[in-house]
Amino acid sequence: MQAQQSPARHFLSLLDLSGDELRTVILHAIEVKEKLKSGIRHTPLSGKVMAMIFEKSSTRTRVSFETGMSQLGGHAMFLSPRDIQLGRGEPIEDSARVISSMVDIIMIRTFGHERLQTVADASTVPVINGLTDKLHPCQLLADMQTWFELRGDIQGATVAWIGDGNNMCHSYINAARQLGFHLKIACPAGYEPDADVVEPARDQVKIYNDASAAAKQADLVVTDVWASMGQEEEQQQREQAFANFQVNSSLMQLANQDALFMHCLPAHRDEEVSASVIDGKQSVVWQEAENRLHAQKSLVEFLVNGSF
Ligand code: CP
Ligand code: NVA
């Protein structure tokens, strides 16, 4: 195994990379995608291994990292707490220390953000946040790549976030800070994003309790499920609270005419988004989902090799 730079560079949040670095990763992702589509092999991570720890379910994150590592010439290992000693009470910092002594990079999807931080603190190799209750930065790389492909740089654009002030919303706030776009957030009262995330971004972010106010003149409209993983018991109560926050054709009409629609998926049709919108002409959700693969390949190459 090649010696790592010390300390390892982690990707726990979009704030871990500068705006310039994020742009470099996004633009490299577009190149890596073009190479793949043209049948040109790109294997800068030959012999490198990623450990993927999933404490929550996943389709896109698992498939994209596993496929991505293989395409880069490396290998990804899926670790579920059901099968490893972590699930039988081995401290996560001990698990991280041991795993990081054998692999080149770790990806973890977990609940509390502090658990991710514990892994990063104990790891001698880069750690990627594959989603916590607080943040989902890998999804933002894919969303931003999709925007860059279709519209160019996002600086100065207006994005509307409609729905829960959740991990995705927090990551949009961080992206607005790092990439310089305006973010209008509409949430029901009591479901706003956390103040510690909003406060440092107050020049970029405006919060409304009315979906129409946020959607007006937006260039991009984004939503997510009303009950995230771990909130299943709140589903009914949330359906009531979010009833006026569905992204449907009438709401999309308030946005700019060429506005795009994104959703990280999985989606609940006719709940947070109408079928007419997610399956309609403005929706770019399939390109967005595919870009998880390309954006994360670029990220992993950047973290493991330190440059492109
Ligand atoms: N968007 C996303 O992270 O999907 P998965 O939960 O399927 O990984
Ligand atoms: N907010 C959602 C995102 C899923 C990719 C969740 O945390 O469940």
Q: Are residues 126 and 162 in the same domain?
A: no
Q: Which ligand is nearest to the CA of 171?
A: 2
Distance 139 CA to ligand 1 centre (A): 8
Instruction: Look up residue 15 and give its amino acid.
Output: L
Q: Are residues 182 and 262 in the same domain?
A: yes
Which atom of ligand 2 is nearest the CA belonging to 164?
A: 1
Spatial separation of the C-alpha atoms in residues 278 and 12, rounded to whole Å: 29
> Do the domain assignments include residue 9?
no
Q: Are residues 126 and 143 in the same domain?
A: no
> Do the domain assignments include residue 308?
no
- Domain count along the chain: 2
60 lines ligand 1 (CB under 6 A): yes
Q: Are residues 112 and 175 in the same domain?
A: no
Report CA-CA distances (Å) from 281 to 49, 121, 189: 39, 44, 31
133-186 pLDDT tens trace: 999 999 999 999 999 999 999 999 999 999 999 999 999 999 999 999 999 999
Q: Are residues 88 and 170 in the same domain?
A: no
The pLDDT, as a whole number, for residue 307 is 86
Q: Which two tokens stand for residue 183?
A: 């973010």
Distance 138 CA to ligand 1 centre (A): 10
Q: Are residues 158 and 177 in the same domain?
A: yes
Q: Are residues 82 and 37 in the same domain?
A: yes
The protein residue whose alpha carbon is closest to atom 2 in ligand 1 is: 60
| Pair 226, 270: CB distance under 8 Å | no
Q: Are residues 24 and 143 in the same domain?
A: no
Q: Are residues 151 and 268 in the same domain?
A: yes
Q: Are residues 106 and 144 in the same domain?
A: no
Virtual torsion, Cα 89, 92, 93, 99, nearest 10 deg: 110
139 among known catalytic residues: yes
63 lines ligand 1 (CB under 6 A): no
Range of the domain at 111: 14-136+289-302
- pLDDT score of 127 more than 60: yes
Q: Are residues 37 and 158 in the same domain?
A: no
> Do the domain assignments include residue 115?
yes
> Do the domain assignments include residue 3?
no
136 among known catalytic residues: yes
222-251 pLDDT tens trace: 999 999 999 999 999 999 999 999 999 999
Q: What are the helix (H) ranges across the chain? A: 19-37, 60-71, 92-100, 113-122, 137-151, 167-179, 195-198, 211-215, 235-241, 249-254, 275-278, 285-305
Which atom of ligand 1 is nearest the CA belonging to 57?
A: 6
45-81 pLDDT tens trace: 999 999 999 999 999 999 999 999 999 999 999 999 9
170 lines ligand 1 (CB under 6 A): no
23 among known catalytic residues: no
Percentage of the chain exceeding pLDDT 90 = 97
Q: Are residues 220 and 246 in the same domain?
A: yes
> Do the domain assignments include residue 190?
yes
CATH code for the domain of 19: 3.40.50.1370
Distance 228 CA to ligand 2 centre (A): 5
72 lines ligand 2 (CB under 6 A): no
| Pair 227, 234: CB distance under 8 Å | yes
Q: Which ligand is nearest to the CA of 64?
A: 1
